[in-house]
Amino acid sequence: MNAKTINSNNNEYYFEIPKESKVSDKMYLQAINAHKDLWHDFYNLAGLPTVKVLVAGNDWEMDSWWGRLYNAHPFTAGIAKLEAHSYYDWHIDTDRGVRLNMLLNNWDTSHSMFNPFMKRGESAYNVQLASLKDGERKIVELKYKPQRYYLFNTQIAHTIYNFADTARYSLTLDFDEDLSKLTYEQLLEELIREQWWNE
């Protein structure tokens, strides 16, 4: 079994884990009930008030297959919060090659998109659309499904917009290994080979 035989439509951008989460509702409750002092700056976004993270505690209930993933690739789990009517602008992560995410709410009112033709440090406003060929103008949207994890390629330009009247919460796994040690392609191949999600 390879990447082309499981959910192959857009595998270069993201991969849907073919198993529903059993704890997504509990994760959402952790997020909405967390005291405001528990939220911290997210990744490299210090000072950006619209994006914060709640780091998972030892008492949080996790999906059982996380243990197998953690043994292979240690990570820190947290819940990222994007405020209502805000966005996380186009970017390529500087030192993270891959993340594993699960959207916990706002499935129809927030949008996560990839632009494979935008380069690191390039603004969406500076992309010369007239010089792009028709196929190069496409934007790929990751339409999150409830209770589903997605492997996320952070080395392709991506953005998130939250049009909802409420904050957007997503569970995210931040792997200890940086881009030089763990890429999206490496973890995708390993996930499909090992299928850690199977009990």
Tell me the whole-structure pTM to 2 decimals.
0.86
User: What does the domain layout of the chain look like in residue ranges?
Assistant: 14-194
Number of H-type helices and E-type strands within the chain: 3, 11
Query: For 53-103, how does the pLDDT look when each residue is reduced to its tens digit (9 = 90+)?
Result: 788 777 788 898 999 999 999 998 889 999 999 988 888 988 899 999 999
> Whole-angstrom Cα distance, residue 87 to residue 76?
23
> Whole-angstrom Cα distance, residue 134 to residue 199?
44
> Whole-angstrom Cα distance, residue 118 to residue 157?
6
Superfamily for 14-194?
Jelly Rolls (2.60.120.10)
Structure tokens at 150: 């997605």
Query: For 108-152, how does the pLDDT look when each residue is reduced to its tens digit (9 = 90+)?
Result: 999 999 988 887 766 655 555 555 566 556 789 999 999 999 999
Centre a 10 Å sphere on the Cβ of residue 74 and count the other Cβ atoms it contains.
11
